Amino acid sequence: MCQPTTKSRSLQSKWKLHPHLSTSQTTRAFTPQETTELVSRPGVRRTRTRSYNLFLSAVSAGCLLAFGGAASLVLTTDPWRAENAPGVSRMLGAAVFPVGVILIALTGADLFTAGNMCKRISVWELLSHWAICFLGNLDRSLFVEPEFHNILPRGVGCNWLVCLALYLSVQANDLASKVIGIWFPIFAFVILGLDHVVANMFFIPLAIWLRAPGLDVGLNIWKRIIPTTIGNVIGGAVFVGGYYW
């Protein structure tokens, strides 16, 4: 559970001086309560960040996620494998896509869907942070077609896994554990075909640039961006942020 702010300021010094008080000697991981405390502090700091700096950080996150998406496409678009071994293509693509999220987590860039709630900021600060991150991640992106009621639950499941990945990365103490903690949940969401609004901000504009047929901008915003965003917010804020708080 989130502790008072005065205690939060003293926790880090205690952990530095007495790591045995807060981490297991066998797993080298923080407890869930301590992890929630660690997750909440940078969230508070980011809402106090200047809008310009926050926007640039969000643009950086969108670019890093696009690197992972591009690497995934290289492995999933091979014609022979797509026809003869589609399952292998999907697994390989899912295996490399987490690179983008790992880079975001380790560099501290701001991803719209990674927000968690701990009742330390106002609703206005939360919404402002979300809006700036969303626009920075978006960067002129457009969306495609499936139905609202199909996309919404896929968005919930996706960001549930994404936020768990970032939660596990905070819980770990060493770099290898952070990478592994991020990799498995992201692998799961990609191979399951769940919907992540920022990932779509790379794939769909790429399809438009390649002149894919049937991309109606207005209809696709209604049928993709809105349900995916709502689902991502529910998955992260309720099932991770709300639950662990």
Q: Which of 230, 115, 225, 211 is nearest to 162 (CA)?
A: 115
Between CA 159 and CA 198 the distance in angstroms is 11
Q: What is the CA radius of gyration of the chain?
A: 19
Looking at residue 21, what is its pLDDT? 43
Terminal Cα-to-Cα distance of the chain (whole angstroms): 5
- Give mean pLDDT, residues 154-166: 88
Secondary structure class of 82 (helix, strand, coil)? helix
For the chain, domains (ranges, CATH) are 31-110+122-244 (1.20.1080.10)
* pTM assigned to the model: 0.63
Confidence of residue 17 (pLDDT cuts 50, 70, 90): very low
Between CA 101 and CA 65 the distance in angstroms is 6
CA angle (127, 129, 131) in 5-degree steps:
70
Looking at residue 187, what is its pLDDT? 92
Structure-block tokens of residue 44: 């508070």
Looking at residue 116, what is its pLDDT? 44
